Amino acid sequence: MKLINFVLFQLGWFISVWGAANQKLPLSMIVVALILLAHIMQASRKKEATLLLLIIMLLGSIFDQLLLITNLVSYQNQFFDTLVPVWIVAMWGLFATTLNLSLSWLKSNRVLAVLFGFIGGPVAYFAAEQLNAVQLTNQFSIYALALGWAILTPVCLLIAGKWNGFRT
């Protein structure tokens, strides 16, 4: 289950970025919605799994909105220049699917969770920038991403512990 979760997250991440960068957003969002739906359907506690997705999507969107309004990041395929794009919101949903499955090993070690976020968050944005979906707008962008993800990763894992739809 964890391996499938990891593969679906990676697939969803790539499809989201590809869709944003290549003006194929409707198609990519359908695929991501199907991945999120499949995740919820596999959960033993569907309500908890759904609530976790919604909470993390909101929390992550607030973080990305702060990056956007402080001009640290700009996004491709925005419907509104002042709002975080739907594909970023969807990507936070994809991240939420990993918290109680493929990333659950981080719950027992907060230091590793902080380091994972500190490195992994900026790497994901840098990769999305290389695929032309995101632009890191100045030298402080990478620092803001590292700090934000270093905080958000353990926070998201704590939230996931409460809303674990895969608890038996």
Global pTM reads 0.94
For residue 156, the enclosing domain spans: 2-162
Taking a C-beta distance cutoff of 8 angstroms, is the pair 36, 94 a contact?
yes
Q: Is residue 168 part of a domain?
A: no
On whether residue 105 sits in a domain, the answer given is yes
Indicate the number of domains in the chain. 1
In which band, very low, low, confident or very high, does the pLDDT at 168 lie, cut at 50, 70 and 90?
low
Mean pLDDT of 100-119: 97
- The tokens describing 100, both together, are 């109680």
For residue 167, tell me if it sits in a domain. Answer: no
Residues in the chain, overall count: 168
pLDDT of residue 166: 92
Q: What is the DSSP string of 73-134?
A: EEESS-SSTTS--HHHHHHHHHHHHHTTTTTGGGGG-HHHHHHHHHHHHHHHHHHHHHTTSE
Is residue 81 over pLDDT 80? Answer: no
Residue 62's Cα: distance from chain center in Å?
12
Q: What is the pLDDT of residues 46-76, one digit of tens each?
A: 999 999 999 999 999 999 999 999 999 999 8
